[in-house]
């Protein structure tokens, strides 16, 4: 249910077919404010050798320490990013049985195996 709540809270109001999510659970959250790594990847293309190496080091460090990071100045348009987000939502909403039988995944790719988590 928490996964559904997180996903549906991101959906725009233009999608009226979203089922009502029951809020029959209680969630207590402890939030610690942290600065997530933000990496300017334009340095990989436009930077001097020293800047490119520094950017690579930042990516490696963020990957080791955080497992993820935000990139900026990547050159991908907001239109493409929005289309990708909508496709993620569409795939997430598909029934688990359909997703588990899909051949669209690369061999050895990681997929969640629990219907309630996907």
Please check whether residue 97 lies inside any domain of the structure: no
Q: Is the distance from CB of 76 to CB of 51 less than 8 angstroms?
A: no
Polymer length of the chain: 118
- 């909508």: which residue's tokens? 86
pLDDT greater than 60 at residue 37: yes
Please check whether residue 53 lies inside any domain of the structure: yes
Please check whether residue 105 lies inside any domain of the structure: no
For residue 78, the enclosing domain spans 34-86
d(CA 56, CA 116): 37
What is the domain count for the chain?
1
Please check whether residue 109 lies inside any domain of the structure: no
Please check whether residue 15 lies inside any domain of the structure: no
pLDDT greater than 50 at residue 13: no
pTM of the model: 0.51
Mean pLDDT of 6-24: 53
Mean pLDDT of 70-96: 92
pLDDT greater than 60 at residue 29: yes
Task: Calculate the alpha carbon distances from 78 to 40, 53, 97, 114 in Å.
Answer: 16, 27, 32, 32
**pLDDT at residue 108, as a whole number:** 64
**pLDDT at residue 111, as a whole number:** 60
């Amino acid at each position: 249910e928490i996964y559904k709540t997180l996903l549906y809270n991101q959906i725009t109001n233009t999608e009226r077919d979203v089922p009502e999510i029951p809020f029959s659970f209680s969630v207590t959250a402890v939030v610690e404010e942290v600065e997530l790594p933000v990496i300017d990847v334009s340095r990989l293309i436009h930077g001097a050798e020293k800047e490119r190496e520094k950017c690579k080091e930042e990516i490696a460090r963020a990957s080791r320490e955080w497992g993820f990071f935000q990139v900026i100045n990547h050159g991908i348009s907001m239109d493409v990013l929005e289309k990708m987000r909508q496709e993620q939502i569409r795939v997430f909403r598909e029934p688990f049985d359909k997703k588990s039988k899909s051949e669209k995944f690369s061999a050895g790719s990681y997929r969640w195996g629990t219907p309630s988590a996907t």
